[in-house]
Structures are given as C-alpha cells and as structure tokens.
Structure 1
Amino acid sequence: MNATLLKSGHVDVDAFVLANRPAWDRLEHLVKKRRRLTGAEVDELVDLYQRVSTHLSMVRSASTDQVLVGKLSGLVARARAAVSGAHAPLWQEFVRFWTVSFPVVAYRSWRWWLGSGVAFFAVAVVIGVWVATHPEVQAAVGTPAEIDQLVNNDFADYYSEHPAGSFALQVWVNNAWVAAQCIGFSILLGIPIPYVLFQNSANLGVIGGLMFSADKADVFLGLLTPHGLIELTAVFLAAGAGMRLGWSVVSPGDRPRTQVLAEQGRAVISVAVGLVAVLLIAGVIEAFVTPSSLPTWARIGIGVAAEAAFLAYVVHFGRKAARAGETGDIDNAPDVVPTG
C-alpha cells in the first residue's frame, strides 16, 4: 500500500504521510523516553526504526519534498542512535552546537535579522541627517559646549579611557544585555523588540549627526566600524530570532501553536548561547583594535574581516544543516552516537 501511495504526485505523498504519521509520532515518543523504556517498548522501538527507515528510503526515491525527507532523516538518525545506545562524548555535543544548532537557527531566520538591520540603519540615517542639517535640533540635544566636548573629546576618549581588559568586559556585558532584552522579549511575541532597536538606532543617529556636522565623520566611522559591524549583526540576530518566535505563535501554519512555540523557543536558546561568543569577539575588537594605533584602514579591515567570517560561517554551516532538515531545536539534538 505504501508503495502505491508514493507512486506519483503531491496527493499521494499527502496520503502516505497521513497513513504513516502515527508510526512516526510513536517512534518520536519512544526516542524521547529512551532511558525509561520497558522491554516491550524497546522491541517496539527497534521495529518502528526499521519501518521508518524503509519509509525514508521510499520518500527519497519518490518525492521531492525536502522538508519531509529532512524530518524523516532526523527521526531515523535519532532512532538509530537510541537503538545503538552509545552516548556521545561532550566534545561532539560541543561541535554539533557550533556546526548545526546555532548556525542553522541564524540561517533560517536571516530574513528577520536582515530586515531588522535595514530598518535600524534607515532610522539611524534619517535621524542623523535631520540632526546634522538642523541647528535647532542640535540645540535641543545639548549646549554648544556639551556638543563640542562630545565630538572633540568624549566620543574618542570612550574607547581608550579604561584598561582594555576591563573595557572589553564592560562592552560585552552591555551588548549582551541588549541582545538578552531582544531574546527575552520573545515571550511577549517580540512586540517590544522594535522599540529596543529604535532606541539604539536613534542614539546612533544623533551621535552620528553631531559628528558629521562637526566634520568628524572620519573619527566616527573609524572608531565605530571595526567592532560595530559584528556587534550590531549580533543584536540584529537576537532581535530577528525573538521576533520570528513571536510571529510563529501568531501564524503557526498547519501545526499546533504550542508545538511551534516550544520548538522555536528551544531554537532561540541556541541563539542566546551562541551570541555570548559572538559578542565576546565584538568586545575584544572594541577594546583592543578600535582604540589602537593601527591605521584607520587596518582597523576597519579587521572589523570587515570579522563580519565576513561570521556571515560565511552562518551561510556555510547553516545552509548545510537546513538542507539536512535541522531546525536548531535542542530537544532534537542526539545525545548518543550511532554505532550500527
């Protein structure tokens, strides 16, 4: 019957899924409780593993539905690991996180964080031009003496007035807090996240407008670009992941809303953990590269290289994992290694 269902067309694939979903769901359930199985359930697990492996082979040969192929591939891999029963060493879990869990979530949500970045810079540019071209706006920001102190001293001194090590820690904590806000607000459907981004965008626009107006554009860009590229990308990623989770609750598709929320929530955890390292890199660059005596082109080059390396990492590993059907849901990560 299964072979007949997969003979041709989309309708047959739908019928195949409908006919076999109970077996897949049951196998998923047994895999998740693998440490508490009875003898009969172990036998059932082995039987279902063999059946679903056959289903996967049939789908691969008769269907172009890569989502279905990826889902079954992941299920079969986890079932095979449960059947073989060899626990994965910690280093493999670490490697999996950095090559699958984190990059695939970043890759799958790229439209959200790219949109966040475009909106952020659009607001910053509009406010910056407004401040730079309207003296009355500058007067509302501060007195001439205060603005002079900012553009000629405070902005540049900010990056060098503290020891590099302690400054790196301070920067990391501050940026991690902004990213944590974006992640945390996902529980409110991501609604407050645009406001958090707007606040930071407006601050950047005001300072940029004052610096450009005072002919300090080279100082502004030379000090902001080295660390700002990867730092802001991390913030956009946090914002995008948080808003994507919120939208998944509003529009869960054809799956139960609670299931989608749980999956996306666990995936967001991967982003939160991964951004700890990304923001640490941004903090190190801001503390040691931005205020250094290197030529401006060299400092900016380091920042561009760090940004390019991060984007290449996300695209390479994220796309590879996405094609394999991975979602970044940490509940799906195998904690055992297949040995047979």
Structure 2
Amino acid sequence: MTPIRFEADYGGMWDALAEQLKVAEAGKPVDGALLASRYRRVCEHLALAQSRAYPIHLMARLESLAQDAHRILYRRQDYGLAALGHLLRVKLPQTVRDQRRYVLLAFLLFTVPLVISFLMAWLTPDFALRVMDAQQLRRMSSMYADGSSAVGRLREASTDWQMFGYYIFNNIGIGLRCFGAGILAGVGSAFVLLFNGLQIGTVAGYLQRDGLGHNFWPFVATHSAFELTGIVLSGAAGLRIGLSWLSPGRRSRLEALKVAARESIPIIYAAFFLLLVAAGFEAFWSSAAWVEPWVKFLVAGLCWLLVVLWLGLMGRGMHRAG
C-alpha cells in the first residue's frame, strides 16, 4: 500500500481522533471507549508506517496523535478540583432528578409526619410528652432559652468546634440510618424518615407552644435547607435500594440490587455533602446569638433557593457521563 493510499484510507479516523483529543483537552466529557479504540488503531498504523519506511511527515503525524492520546488516556485520574466540580455541578443533580420518584416518596414520608406532629404539639398540651420524655423536652427548652450566648448549644459543649463535631456525627448518622435501613425492603428507610419527621415536628411544635419560637426558628432557618434536604435524599437512596429488592422487575434480585446501588451512590454523595454543609452552618452561624433574626431568615431564603436551583437546574442539557 502506498503512503498516499494509506493516508487516504485512514486519514478520516486520524482527524476524528484529533478532534476528540481537542474536546478532551478542553475538559469536556468524551467517549472513553471510542478514544481508546482509536488510540490502539493509531498505534498499529504508526507501527506499520515505521516498518514500511513511510515519509517522515506521515510518521510525525501519527507519533503526535499517539502521544497526545496516550497523555489523555493515562494521565492521573483522580478527584481533583475539576472532577469534584463536575461531580457537584452535573452528576449529582442529574442523578437526583433521574430518581425523582424516590425523592418525592421520601419527601412525603418525612414532611407529612413533620407537619402533622408540629400542629399536634403546638395545639395539644400533652402531645409532645407522648412522643418524647420530659427530660428530652426540658433539654430542648434549655437549649433555646432566652439569654443564651449561643442558641441551640448543648450545655456540655463549650465551643462551636465541639458542636461542629457533634453535628457532623449526628447529621451523618441520620443519613446513614436512612440509607442503610433501606436494605430491609425499603421499610427501614420509610420508618427512619417517619420517625425523624415526627421528632423534628414535635420539637418545633413544643418550642412554639412553650414561647421559644422566636429563638428556635432563627436557629433552624438557615441550616434546615441543607439538613432536611440531605435527610430526604438519604431516605430516597435507601428506598431505591429496598424497592429494587422488593420489585426487581425482569432482573434477578441480586442484579437489581447492583443496579440500584450504582444509581444510589451519587444521591448519597449529594446527601452527605448537604449534611456536612448543614453541620457547618449549624455550628458557626445558626447558633450565633449576635446575628439578628431577620439576617438569618434572609440568608435562609438564599440557601433554600440555592439548593432548589442546584438540584433542579444544574447539569441540564449537559452530557451524562458513565
């Protein structure tokens, strides 16, 4: 085969690879399997060109393509800032929207008992005592009492950093229970969502009835955007796991669980990210008694807007990798 015929037969593929490499260099997603296949073909063509002593310009072109493709394919693949940014901006919100049926189910399982228990605890004198014991309620009252230098802080915690550690442990613990309990055919996740909704609503209603709502609502307003959303997403991931086992469709139960686990991982990432952010706000911002309530409510509105825009709009129209 002459060099001219060789280049005419395969030049189109070389051009396609060069274009694909430009896209990859720009940080945009490409078809990795296709890129690897073209890279192997170019290596084969380079070996042929060298063995047949084709012109220097032809071998230089193939060498350049092979080197560029090798650099793209074998460069260090880690979760650097760019990859983390893509995960947060594209992959996580896309997956949450894809699993919106489970998110909606988790939302209802969590918010319905929350609203009902809040109204019952607010309007009924003894309802809170049916859900929580007197010691727990007294502890809540002391945490949100007037005159406290840090609202919502445990008496045994003397610094915001101690509370930050406590909130991380507490928030992530709730998320893990919501998710992990899903393996029990989804019933476990449903129970954890119902239970947490019932407790949160009861505390809110009790403190409102006890005349401490003016301290409680500014405290919870900001971090609730992240914490409550994180709890719902954790529950949604658990329900996805459990219901796939309960109703595997045409797959075997084991295969259905594998697919569900793969699809649930980004939701758990999103949930834990939100719960971690919530812990930071809760420890260093929500508890600050020196911040005026109207400022906290304003920031809370912005936080809720950011969460809704992130999960509702980010990543729309972008390539779905993997």
Range class of TM-score, shorter chain:
0.5 to 0.7
**Letter matched to residue 36 of structure 2:** A
Question: 3-state SS of the aligned residue for 1:159?
Answer: coil
Structure 1 residue aligned with 2:74: 87
Q: Answer yes or no: is 1:102 the counterpart of 2:61.
A: no
- Write the mapping of 1:210-289 to structure 2, written as runs, cut at 5 A: 210-255=206-251, 257-289=253-285
Q: In structure 2, how many angstroms separate the alpha carbons of the residues matched to 1:224 and 1:214?
A: 17
Cα deviation, residue 225, structure 1: 1.5
Q: Answer yes or no: is 1:77 the counterpart of 2:31.
A: yes
Match of 1:297 among 280, 294, 297: 294
State the TM-score, normalized to the length of structure 1. 0.64
**1:266–1:223 CA distance, 2 compared to 1 (3 A):** same
Q: Which runs of 5+ in 1 are unaligned?
A: 1-49, 54-73, 327-331, 333-340
Question: CA deviation digits over 1:174-232, x for unaligned, max 9?
Answer: 11111111222233332201111122112112212212222333322221111112101
**Letter matched to residue 125 of structure 1:** V
Question: CA deviation digits over 1:266-285, x for unaligned, max 9?
Answer: 23223333433322211111
Structure 2 residue aligned with 1:208: 204
Q: In structure 2, how many angstroms separate the alpha carbons of the residues matched to 1:202 and 1:111?
A: 22
Question: CA deviation digits over 1:286-324, x for unaligned, max 9?
Answer: 111112211112112222322321321222334335xx4
Q: Answer yes or no: is 1:131 the counterpart of 2:121.
A: yes
Structure 2 residue aligned with 1:173: 169
**1:255–1:131 CA distance, 2 compared to 1 (3 A):** same
State the TM-score, normalized to the length of structure 2. 0.67
Cα deviation, residue 126, structure 1: 1.5
Structure 2 residue aligned with 1:309: 306
**Equivalent pair of 1:160/1:291 in contact (CA under 8 Å):** no
Question: CA deviation digits over 1:75-98, x for unaligned, max 9?
Answer: x81321332351354235434433
Q: In structure 1, how many angstroms separate the alpha carbons of the residues matched to 2:139 and 2:83?
A: 51
**1:214–1:266 CA distance, 2 compared to 1 (3 A):** same
Q: In structure 2, how many angstroms separate the alpha carbons of the residues matched to 1:276 and 1:124?
A: 21
Q: In structure 2, how many angstroms separate the alpha carbons of the residues matched to 1:244 and 1:201?
A: 19
Higher relative contact order (CA 8 A, sep 6+): 1
Question: CA deviation digits over 1:49-103, x for unaligned, max 9?
Answer: x9xx9xxxxxxxxxxxxxxxxxxxx9x8132133235135423543443334322
Structure number, greater radius of gyration: 2
**1:262–1:284 CA distance, 2 compared to 1 (3 A):** same
Question: 3-state SS of the aligned residue for 1:319?
Answer: coil
**1:281–1:146 CA distance, 2 compared to 1 (3 A):** closer
